Structure 1
Amino acid sequence: MRDTTHMPADHPTLPGEKIGVLIANLGTPDNHDYWSMRRYLNEFLSDKRVIDYPAWKWQPILQAIILTIRPFKSGANYRKIWNNEADESPLMTITKAQTEKLRAVLQARFGDRVMVDFAMRYGNPSTPSKVAEMVKSGCSRVLFFPLYPQYSGPTTATANDQFFRALMQETWQPAARTAPAYFDRPSYIEALAQSVERTYPTEAEAPDVLVCSYHGVPERYLTEGDPYHCQCQKTTRLLRERLGWDKARVVTTFQSKFGPEEWLKPYTVEEVARLARAGKKRIAVIAPAFSSDCIETLEEIEEEIQHSFKDAGGQDFTYLPCLNDDDAHIEALAEVVVENLAGWLD
């Protein structure tokens, strides 16, 4: 609580002191038309954490070629999955639902002392706008929580960068913390395992192979010190051990390759075809790096990757949705939040 004992009578009214919990997701275009897509892609692909080529080399290619062509293709893909009823992308719909459920869990425990909201790294609502709202609402301390189970520079780090830049705009900065990756947290692994077991309740129904498909990054990031590859491998191992399946039935792959250089391998789109040619007729794909379903899961996995499997002779392809606002997932997220609020709240 703020001490107002010695505040003069004409002092501007201060809001009651609160703790802010700001969860962050990647982002989404405001719509799937050309200009909405171009704005979104420009912000995303201009991020040095995402594309780290020198600006003099990258920006002419981006502005003159990629942003002239790619908004049409990306817009068409977004149209396939768009939530027309709410007029927003599925990522936005799901992130709102996650925020509402997390807010309910935390307010049941801490009451109105905690303010829970969400922001996007790219697009709207922007991280600076949400930090400003929290400060205006009386949040003297803010926990920033990027919703990426595994840490990587192009995801967790750039989200944190934007949060820190937002703090630089505030005259009265709140105290701040960032939540760490939760790739090996037992409650997260349990939530993943439960999602598999709901789809395959008996051994007879289980797929020949469970493909754990993670978003890829350039291979050189591994040698430069990014822990993402190792954390993905550990998530897969812990999930396999929890399910009690042997090593041959659970594989780690990487999707969404972009640009000319080598990325982490094996590539999902190639591996599912190899599995089909090797006689694996029934596979399931799960995406443990994504906290929410989005264009990479609903379009890329459901369309391109599934087609690759079936074109190579595969028969039964199942995509297991992200954890989204599943109750077990929300409990795991709440566990991370409560642990990282230690010392700020009783």
Structure 2
Amino acid sequence: MKDQTDRPGEGRLAHAPADHPPVARPRIGILLANLGTPDGYDFWPMRRYLSEFLSDKRVIDYPVWKWQPLLQLIILSKRPFSSGANYKSIWNHELNESPLMTITKAQTAKLRTAVEERYGDGVMVEFCMRYGNPSTESVVRRMVEAGCEKIVFLPLYPHYAGATSATANDQLFRALMKEKRQPAARIVPEYFDHPLYIKALAQSVERAYAAIDRRPDVLVASYHGMPKRYLLEGDPYHCQCQKTSRLLREALGWDKGAIDTTFQSVFGPEEWLRPYTVEHVAELAKAGKKRIAVISPAFSADCIETLEEIQGEIREAFEHAGGESFTYIPCLNDDDAHIAALMAVLGDNLAGWVA
């Protein structure tokens, strides 16, 4: 990559005094951000993780005086046990980490290789987690120390939502506030309708359908839910999910009605976006749709919501209602088509910064 500054690499401070601190050569950084993961599934790692996650005002915006006593005294005395059991059931015991961590590392490694092949070693690729480790602040610090004077920040959420993309951006801004030499930053917008992202989704469906003996009666696109109130307050997430389902159906060449859009992971007393996946799959079974497939387009990597919730609670609801065949289509993860889509998105956002 051609140096975008007018300072020639390591010799750019040749006229500085002898006691001047060393300065790394200028680089550009790409920082991927995912939701996060507990460090372990025992009580205290789970409690720390859940406390950070459920204390985020972007996630739960109830008044602190009302929410925090309930969270700290009641919810966090019980939920770490149940959530920990769920994480234990999907844990990568060989590497002692959650599947989300394993997959995010694999995505980062593939993107790092692709970026180096295209742009050279002047672009640094790292990842951080909004909740848990590695923290956004620690990775930003490391990138600045490595010479990153410009950072492209990519929240790994195809769809925008205040509780995902926005809170990841918030955390980046908090980290930048602590830097003496603050790098320039570009935020990558949502890519829910990017042609290569849609193509990658369609290919994953075609592979899954080719591997089973009989075609499912319906494909359920299950997206992470949010309170309906957020939609009414202006969050575009619901509309973007609907468009992704439509574009996926068109890419597959299917007729209208071939894909149902639903929402999962309901939490708390409020009404959330409907239909709820767990209820909808049961209704499909009762209506005679005995064979279904489920895909999760809003997740860039398989995680607790897909590996445990969809393949556990949601599958059980379908089978209990009379369903006979349940096919889960994995997230795009580190599939080459997904990496190609992310590279295209990054290329658009690196324009003008790299040759």
TM-score bracket for the superposition, by shorter chain length: over 0.9
2:148 and 2:139 map into 1 onto residues whose CA distance is 11
Match of 1:78 in 2: 87
Q: Of the candidates 313, 317, 332, which is equivalent to residue 308 of structure 1?
A: 317
Take 1:11 and 1:299, find their aligned partners in 2: how far apart are those partners?
54
Letter in 1 for 2:31: L
Query: What SS does the corresponding residue of 1:112 show, helix, strand or coil?
Result: coil
Q: Does residue 330 of structure 1 match 2:342?
A: no
Query: Which residue number in structure 2 is paired with residue 195 of structure 1?
Result: 204
What are the Cα deviations for residues 60-87 of structure 1, in whole angstroms up to 9, with x where unaligned?
0000100000000000000000000000
Among candidates 39, 42, 49, match of residue 51 of structure 2: 42
Query: Which residue identity is paired with 1:208?
Result: D
Counterpart amino acid of residue 205 in structure 1: R
**Residue of structure 1 in register with 2:17 after alignment:** 8
Where structure 2 has 5 or more consecutive residues not aligned to the other structure, the ranges are: none
Query: Would you say 1:152 and 2:152 are equivalent positions?
Result: no
Query: Among residues 289, 292, 297, which one is paired with 2:306 in the alignment?
Result: 297
Q: Which amino acid aligns with 2:274?
A: K
Please provide the CA RMSD for this pair: 1.2
Q: For 1:4 and 1:205, locate their aligned partners in 2 and report how far apart those are by CA, in whole Å.
A: 67
User: Any idea what SS the aligned residue of 2:196 has?
Assistant: helix
Kindly provide the amino acid, as one letter, of the partner of residue 322 in structure 2: G
Matched residue SS, 2:68: helix
Alignment of 1:272-291 (within 5 A): 272-291=281-300
Tell me what 2:75 maps to. Answer: 66
Equivalent residue, structure 2, for 1:178: 187
Q: CA deviation at 1:200?
A: 1.3
Q: Show structure 1 runs of 4+ deviating over 6 A.
A: none
Give the alignment's TM-score, normalised by structure 2: 0.96
Q: 1:126 aligns with which of 127, 131, 135?
A: 135
| Unmatched runs of 5 consecutive residues or more in structure 1 | none
Partner-residue secondary structure (3-state), 1:205: coil
Give distance in 2, aligned partners of 1:221 and 1:62.
21
Residue 226 of structure 1 and its aligned partner are, at CA, apart by 0.3
1:107-147 C-alpha deviation (Å, 9 max, x unpaired): 00111110000000000000000000000000000011000
**Residues 163-242 of structure 1: matches in 2 within 5 Å?**
163-201=172-210, 205-242=214-251
